[in-house]
Chains A and B, each alone.
Chain A
Amino acid sequence: MTHRSDKGPAPVLALKGISKSFGAVRALRDVSLELFPGEVHALAGENGAGKSTLIKTLAGVHRPDSGQVLLDGEPTVFHGPADARDAGIAVIYQEPTLFPDLSIAENIFMGRQPRRALGRIDHKATHAATLALMQRLGVELDPDRPARGLSIADQQIVEIAKALSFDARVLIMDEPTAALTGSEVARLFGVVRTLREQGSAVLFISHRLEEIFQICQRVTTLRDGAWISSELLDGMTEDDLVRRMVGRDLDELYPKQEVEPGEVALSVRRLTREGVFTDVSFDVRRGEIVGLAGLVGAGRTEVARAVFGIDRWDAGEVDIDGKALINGAPSTAMAAGLALVPEDRRAQGLVMDMSIERNIGLTGLRTTVKAGLVDRGAERSRSLDWAVKLQVKYARIADTVNTLSGGNQQKVVLAKWLATGPKVLIVDEPTRGIDVGTKAEVHRLLSQLAADGVAVLMISSDLPEILGMADRVLVMHEGRLTAEIPRSEATEETVMAAATGRAAA
């Protein structure tokens, strides 16, 4: 932590020797961190390394068991989120917390509205101040429209505006880019750079290492709740950073096994859903991993949903092992050996308040139900079996899924579907928002499945993942398949060209 000795200003916010436990779990052990004005500081670590706890300590949500929070060098105690806010610390959570029914202006100034006589809210001044903030951020959002229906990117802009409105000197961003498209990330980074130039300190958390290198100057790494390092990013490589996060040299991130593809398992012919996707045809063979790339909104998820039968298609045909599937009937698709691991695991993949065993057991109810009742023993042994196979890290199999980290939740979703013994597996964004270690495990698992003869269709917005794992890359652009690129010819350039519609198929 001596890298800044040559710099003049004192840290605006610092943590010294912070420890925090939840019951028997030591979430943070003697962690220190210094944030200087005018820097974007990355916080790196795997899921469960203690990043969230650290953020919540800075935000006044958690109070540390020991150690000090220093504000401008002075020891401070935050009794709640309002204290931290008053101290000029703003947190932008991964999922923005807005009031959907209230206007953007009200969202920004809630609790701190400009007042007129008798304590009444000055609606005009609120409106004007919001407009000024939007101009400062260089975005056009109508202050009076309700927050409901704003894109995640715009919701984050509102959160940033909120931070600016109380002159936040410290901005903490928890995976702000996880749900953004490329151009939205660019806009966000533009805003972050402006804030940095204006002297704010930004703490930036992201699982996308390239983003850390793109926007940050220094990085603090946590592992298992302990401080590992704080250093300048200049001169570091992604491998260096991963090594600090994981604590060892990572096994290959894309452990692709070469498999000779077998016969066609999934065949999609001229599939069309009006206004969503048009004339989509492709095959996936046994043993093959086919990547489906494209920009967000290109229709990839929608194709997967139609193939699985969640949405109806208007024209075309889907065959599994040569047999046609019934339009709009997920249960027959499952019976035919199709499994879909959805994009949004919290909303679509898991019942968050249910136990691990029961979540995995959900897809097996056909086989574990005897005389109308669930055979709990069979369900448990089947679930345990898969939880172990996938190395899910949990305390007890009866724990609810929401106690698990994101990566382990994703493994539970995978287990749930793998337990059906699928012939064709469709995975939608299988590694979004999960750490590199788990990511490598998921990749190894997909690769192993393919080697065992499963046909895998992998939708992903993570280009290195597509390039690293897929035997063939299908690219969609505005609802149409624009390219099919074999592994040997797939590069970032060829895939992006097709995804943005610049290349002919």
Chain B
Amino acid sequence: MTVTTPQNTPVAEVPKSSGTRLVDRVFKMRELAILAVFLVMIVVTQLGNSEFLTEQGIKDLLLNATILVLVAVGQSLVVITRNVDLSVGSTLGISAFAAGTYLQGGGNAVVAVALAVLLGIGFGLLNGLLVSLGQVPALVVTLGTLYIIRGIDSIWVGSRQIVASGLPDGFVDFGSGGISAVPYLALIAVAVLVATAYYLKHFGSGRELYALGSNPEAARLAGIPVRKRILMAYTFCGALAGLAGALYLARFGNVDSSTGNGYELTVVSAVVVGGVVFTGGSGSVYGAALGALLLTSINSVLPALGVSSVWVLAINGILLILAIAVDRVVALRVATALKKRNARHG
């Protein structure tokens, strides 16, 4: 066998950064595709019902999406690490009730929000500790905490209910108010979304979340503090679920022991429809937010078109399957493209 030095190993010219462009393009395409579906849906609905996109109509669309966007952003971080948090619905419910109880007693609105977030952080920490230390699949652990938190909620709340009339006027007004068609709540969600996206892209610990979702063993060998990062993702997810609880209270003013029941599945759907890969390591919070916007908008679109809302769930399901199918096809295409590039220079 002859041995060549690396200098004269023949290698073909590879266009610089073509990989970035390819990958970026795919992911941007993925997000653009949801945006396109969303826009088409809105335009079609508007054509069928000219009353749809009034100022109030737009405001409702955004308001409806806000809470799901927040929880989906938190969930994305967890899913990126190849885990899942099923307890977000329960956390949302209990923090909404906690904030409501405090406000009914004449509390300060900012403190109420902080209280909800802290409660969320607490449950997030619990999940994170169980998953990272217990080495138990997240699906099972958070299914457990889903029921535990819901159980605590039921015992504590009983048949009580919080209604808008018991809350400070300013709080309720904030929940439904906004700058023309843009609700305040949506501004909060957008601020959280942009900050989270920036963090994930530009900070080491953010990239490490992707790394450990992509290959946990490699992450360990690279010296990434795996447990700490998972704990962090869950804590953040819990905090956003808590914040979403407070905003839920502000928006609807009505909370009981079943608030947030079954919400976790909607959240996971939004995240997956938005292109965050369920097996970790890939996806963006922008995608998840778009997924949330798309799913909640269907709720408004169908009635506007005179279609019975019983179709909503079925359509959500179809979107979910479609999204996964598209992801799979795109992944295969990308893999083939990358292999071909190898062949050229290997």
Contact = CB atoms under 8 A, between A and B. Distances in A.
Interface of A: 61, 80-82, 85, 91, 93, 97-104, 106, 110-111, 113, 115, 119-121, 123, 137-146, 148-151, 153-154, 182-187, 189-191, 193-194, 214
B281 A190 contact: no
Contacts of A143: 19
A111 B204 contact: yes
Interface in B172-207: 201-204, 207
Contacts of A193: 5
18 contacts: A80-B223, A93-B221, A97-B218, A100-B215, A103-B19, A110-B224, A119-B204, A121-B207, A142-B19, A143-B19, A144-B23, A145-B22, A146-B23, A146-B338, A149-B339, A186-B4, A186-B9, A214-B3
Given A111-B222, A144-B19, A145-B23, A139 B6 contact: yes
A140 B224 contact: no
A121 B223 contact: no
B228 interface: no
B50 interface: no
A402 to B, nearest CB: 14
A98 B210 CA distance: 12
B310 interface: no
Contacts of B207: 102, 106, 110, 113, 121
B341 A187 contact: no
Contacts of A98: 215, 218
Given A103-B20, A110-B208, A151-B342, A81 B223 contact: yes
A81 B17 contact: no
A342 B325 CA distance: 31
B220 A121 contact: no
B214 interface: yes
Contacts of A110: 207-208, 211, 219, 222, 224
A227 B13 CA distance: 47
B23 A190 contact: no
Contacts of A194: 5-6
A-B complex: 5 closest residue pairs judged by Cβ atoms? A145-B19, A138-B6, A82-B223, A149-B338, A144-B20
A191 B4 CA distance: 10
Given A142-B19, A149-B335, A99 B2 contact: no
| Majority secondary structure, B binding face | helix
Contacts, number: 145
B218 A142 contact: no
Contact of B223 (A85, A138, A182): A85
Contact of B1 (A106, A140, A144, A186): A186
Contact of B342 (A119, A154, A187): A154
Nearest to B16: A142
B272 to A, nearest CB: 16
Interface of B: 1-7, 9, 11-20, 22-23, 201-204, 207-208, 210-211, 213-215, 217-224, 277, 281-282, 334-335, 338-339, 341-342, 345-346
A127 to B, nearest CB: 8
A187 B1 CA distance: 12
Nearest to B19: A145
A145 B282 CA distance: 14
A37 to B, nearest CB: 20
Given A144-B20, A214-B3, 12 more contacts: A102-B210, A103-B19, A110-B211, A113-B204, A139-B6, A140-B11, A140-B13, A142-B17, A142-B18, A145-B20, A150-B342, A190-B6
A154 B346 contact: yes
A216 B177 CA distance: 74
A139 B9 contact: yes
Contacts of B215: 97-100
A183 B339 CA distance: 18
A193 B217 CA distance: 29
Contacts of A184: 346
Contacts of B9: 138-139, 183, 186-187, 190
Contact of B346 (A101, A106, A153): A153
Contact of A102 (B14, B214, B217): B214
Contacts of A185: 1
Contact of B14 (A99, A121, A141): A141
B340 to A, nearest CB: 9
A99 B221 contact: no
Contact of B6 (A91, A106, A142, A187): A187
B338 A121 contact: no
A81 B220 contact: yes
Contacts of B345: 140
Nearest to B341: A145
Nearest to B343: A151
A476 B133 CA distance: 52
A184 B2 CA distance: 12
Contacts of B217: 97
Nearest to A93: B221
